[in-house]
Amino acid sequence: MILTVTLNTALDITYRVRSLRPHTTHRVSEVTERPGGKGVNVARVLAALGYEVTVTGFVGGSTGRIVQDALTATPGVVDALVPIGGVTRRTIAVVDERTGDTTQLNEPGPAIAPAEWSAFLEAYEDLLAPASAVALCGSLPPGVPVGAYAGLIRTARAAGVPVLLDTSGEPLRRGVAARPDVIKPNADELAELTGSHEPLRATQDARRRGARTVVASLGAEGLLAVTPEGRWHATPPNRTHGNPTGAGDSAVAGLLSGLVERLPWPDRLARAAALSAASVLTPVAGEFDDAVYRELLMRSSDTREGTVAQI
Amino acid sequence: MILTVTLNTALDITYRVRSLRPHTTHRVSEVTERPGGKGVNVARVLAALGYEVTVTGFVGGSTGRIVQDALTATPGVVDALVPIGGVTRRTIAVVDERTGDTTQLNEPGPAIAPAEWSAFLEAYEDLLAPASAVALCGSLPPGVPVGAYAGLIRTARAAGVPVLLDTSGEPLRRGVAARPDVIKPNADELAELTGSHEPLRATQDARRRGARTVVASLGAEGLLAVTPEGRWHATPPNRTHGNPTGAGDSAVAGLLSGLVERLPWPDRLARAAALSAASVLTPVAGEFDDAVYRELLMRSSDTREGTVAQI
C-alpha cells in the first residue's frame, strides 16, 4: 500500500456563491464537505486510480468525526489517523459561480501535545512496514517540531521506503536536508527555498540541497523535473482554469503511483501532468475528471500534445 | 421571561484574516465560534443586560451540539430549542484586519420535516404562557411554511403576549398582515415591503399594512419610529463603523427590554440606538461594548447628543 501523512488534516468545506464581493453578505447556494489536507487529497486521488492507500496524521473533535466517517466510506482508503484532544481544522473554499474562481480560507489547526506526537511516531513506524512509498504532505500544526519531516524521512529511509515530501517554508528546508527521494515544490515554494525565481536554476539548486529528485509544479508552465536519470519538462496538455491547490495534490498522486510502478520518468511526468490538468477542472481538491484524465494521457502518448521533453 | 424564536439558528463562526482578497488563499489568524441566528443574538444581548431569556427554534447535528453547549454556558439564557434530524447551519464572518470590514457567508440551513414543525408549534404554545414578550427573528429554513410568522403572531396574541417581528421578504409581508405589535425592518426590508425608498412614507405605509408600531433601522441615519403614540427619530450618538448585522439585533433587544418595562417610546428608542451603536464596535453579532453603551445612554439623556426627537 501507499502511505500518506497529513499532520494538519482538515474538514474541507466548499461554498458556492453567486459572486464573492468583500464586505457584503452572501447566501451560500450549495455546501459540500469532505476530508482534506494535502495527504488526504493525494490518498483520494490514488484510491480513485485503484491503489490501496493508508492515511495517517492527526484527527479530533466534531470536525474530525466527519473526516473519519467520510474516509471510512471511501473505497481503497484505510483510516489510520491518530486521535488528539484538539479539534480538526476547517478550510473553506468559496467558489464564485460567475467566474469559477475560488477564494480559500484555512484555519490554523489544533495544537498537538507531546504525547500525541509520540503516539504518531510509533504509529508511523508500524505503518511503514507494509508501505511501498510514503508521501509527507502539507503544513505542520502547532506543537509539532519544525524539523518533524526530516525525522520522518530518516525513519522511512531506515525502513527502505521511498519518500516524497510536499511542504513549504522551514519544514521544507529542513526536510530537504534529510535527503528525501522526491520533493514537489510549486514556483513560490521553490523560490522561497532557493532564493531563485529562475525555475531551472532553482530546481537544480533544490537538488543540491539534498533532494534526490525535484519536480517543480509551475502551474500553466507545467512540471519541471531534475532527476538522477536526467531532466524533463512536461508541458500541460492544454490550458485549464480552476482550483490550483487540487492540481498539486493530483500531481503528487501521479508521481507516487509512477514511483511504486517503477515507470520511467517521462511516463510518471505525463501521468502527473494529465492528473493535474484533469483535477483543475473540478472545484474540489482530491478529485479529478476521470474521462478528461484518460483522454489527456492518451493524447499525450498519441499526438505529442502535452509532451514530456528531455531538456 | 422574554422569549426569542430563531427558526434558522446557526453556528456563527468568525475568521480574522489580514486582508480578504478574492481568488487568493488566506491563513485564518483567529477562529471564534458562538451560537447565532437573529433571535439567539437578541437573547444574548438581553441576557447581558440582566433579563431572563428563553431561546427556541430548531437545532440539530454536530454544529447544533456546539450551539446548545454554548447556550447552556450563557448565564440568563434558557435553551428550549427543538431537536431536528438535519444539521444546524453555519455562518462565516470574515473580518478584514486591515479595514475592519466584515464579509458574510451564510449557509442555507437544514430542511424542517412536517413532524418537526408540529413539535415546534406545541413547544411554542407552552413557552408563551410564562413570557412577557416574544421576538420572532430571522429567515425561515426550508420546509417551514412561508406564512409561519403570521400563525405564530396570532398564537401570541391569543396568549396575550406582545410580539416583535424582525424578518424580511415574503415572511415579513405575511407576518405584518397578522398585526404584530412591533416590526423592525432595515431600509432594504422596508423598501421591499412597501415599494417606497422614502423612509418616513415607507414606515407609515408598513403601519397601514398591519404593524401596530414600525421601528425602521436606517444605519447611520438612526431609528425612525411610527407608533400609536407618535412619531420619533433617534439620531445615533455618533458615527460608528463595524458589523451592521449585530446592530439590528441589539436594537431589537433594546426595544424588547423597553417594551417589557413599559418605558415611554423616546426611552426605548434611546436605549435601542445606544445598544446598536455599542454593538457596531464589536465584530460579533449578539455582543456589545457595555462601557460604550452606558456612556452613550448617559450622554443621550445629559447633553442631548444622540437625541430622540418627535417628528
Average pLDDT, 10 consecutive residues per value, chain A (311 residues): 97 95 93 94 96 98 94 96 97 92 92 97 98 96 96 98 97 97 96 95 96 94 94 80 76 97 94 90 79 83 70 89
Distance from CA of B20 to the nearest CA of A (A): 7
pLDDT reading at B178 higher than 70: yes
Nearest CA in chain A to B108: A28
The strand pair at B10-17 and B30-36 is best described as: antiparallel
Q: Is B31 on the interface with A (CB under 8 A)?
A: yes
**Which residue out of A166, A249, A267, A302 is catalytically annotated?**
A249
Q: Is B78 on the interface with A (CB under 8 A)?
A: no
CA dist B246 and A256 (Å) reads: 50
Nearest CA in chain A to B95: A23
DSSP per-residue letters across B116-185: HHHHHHHHHHHHHTT-SEEEEESPPPTTS-TTHHHHHHHHHHHTT--EEEE--HHHHHHHHHT--SEE--
Residues from chain B that touch A20, judged by Cβ atoms under 8 A, are 22, 103
DSSP per-residue letters across B242-294: S-HHHHHHHHHHHHHHHHHTT--HHHHHHHHHHHHHHHHTSSSTT---HHHHH
- Cβ distance of B104 and A25 shorter than 8 Å: yes
C-alpha cell at B20: 480578504
Report the percent of chain B where pLDDT is more than 70: 95
From the list A25, A28, A107, which residue is nearest B107 (CB)? Answer: A28
pLDDT reading at B238 higher than 70: no
Distance from CA of B289 to the nearest CA of A (A): 22
Nearest CA in chain A to B63: A62
With the C-alpha atoms ordered A113, A40, A46, A71, is the resulting torsion angle positive or negative?
positive
Question: A232 - beta bridge partners?
Answer: A225, A310
pLDDT reading at B240 higher than 70: no
Distance from CA of B142 to the nearest CA of A (A): 13
The strand pair at B230-234 and B223-227 is best described as: antiparallel
Average pLDDT, chain B: 92
Q: What does the pLDDT read at residue A241? A: 64
Sheet of strand B89-96: strand arrangement: A25-27, B102-106, B89-96, B10-17, B30-36
CA dist B307 and B52 (Å) reads: 29
The strand pair at A89-96 and A308-310 is best described as: unpaired
Residues from chain B that touch A92, judged by Cβ atoms under 8 A, are 92, 105
User: What is the mean predicted confidence (pLDDT) over B101-121?
Assistant: 95
- Cβ distance of A27 and B245 shorter than 8 Å: no
More reliable by pLDDT, B256 or B239: B256
C-alpha cell at A45: 486521488
Q: Is B299 on the interface with A (CB under 8 A)?
A: no
CA dist B287 and B275 (Å) reads: 9
Q: What does the pLDDT read at residue A238? A: 67
C-alpha cell at B156: 401570541
Q: Is A96 on the interface with B (CB under 8 A)?
A: yes
CA dist B290 and B301 (Å) reads: 17
More reliable by pLDDT, B140 or A308: B140
Q: What does the pLDDT read at residue A270? A: 92
- In this prediction the ipTM stands at 0.79
Of B126-140, B142-156, B165-179, B285-299, the poorest mean pLDDT is in B285-299
Q: Which CATH number fits domain B2-310: 3.30.200.20, 3.40.1080.10, 3.40.50.300, 3.40.1190.20?
A: 3.40.1190.20
Distance from CA of A280 to the nearest CA of B (A): 14
Nearest CA in chain A to B31: A107
Q: What does the pLDDT read at residue B302? A: 64
Neighbour count for residue B159 (Cβ, 10 Å): 15
How many Cβ contacts (< 8 angstroms) between chains A and B?
79
Q: Which of B28, B31, B186 to mutate to test the interface with A (most CBs of A within 10 A)?
A: B28
User: What is the mean predicted confidence (pLDDT) over B3-11?
Assistant: 97
pLDDT reading at B281 higher than 90: no
**CB burial class (10 A; 0-12, 13-18, 19+) of residue A133?**
buried
Q: What does the pLDDT read at residue B202? A: 96
Distance from CA of A139 to the nearest CA of B (A): 11
Q: What does the pLDDT read at residue B261? A: 96
Catalytic residues of B: 249
Nearest CA in chain B to A62: B62
- Cβ distance of B31 and A108 shorter than 8 Å: yes
Give A102's DSSP letter: E
Confidence bin at B239 (pLDDT 50/70/90): low
Q: Which of A18, A19, A23 to mutate to test the interface with B (most CBs of B within 10 A)?
A: A23
Residues from chain A that touch B28, judged by Cβ atoms under 8 A, are 105-108
Domain boundaries, chain B: 2-310
Residues from chain B that touch A95, judged by Cβ atoms under 8 A, are none
CA dist A231 and A216 (Å) reads: 11
Confidence bin at B284 (pLDDT 50/70/90): confident
- Cβ distance of B17 and A105 shorter than 8 Å: yes
DSSP per-residue letters across B201-232: HHHHHHHHTT-SEEEEE-GGG-EEEEETTEEE
Q: Give the gyration radius of chain A's Cα atoms.
A: 18
Distance from CA of A25 to the nearest CA of B (A): 4
Q: What does the pLDDT read at residue A11? A: 96
- Cβ distance of A26 and B65 shorter than 8 Å: no
pLDDT reading at B303 higher than 80: no
Q: What does the pLDDT read at residue A10? A: 96
pLDDT tens digits, one per residue of B46-94: 999 999 999 999 999 999 999 999 999 999 999 999 999 999 999 999 9
Nearest CA in chain B to A64: B62
Q: What does the pLDDT read at residue B235? A: 86
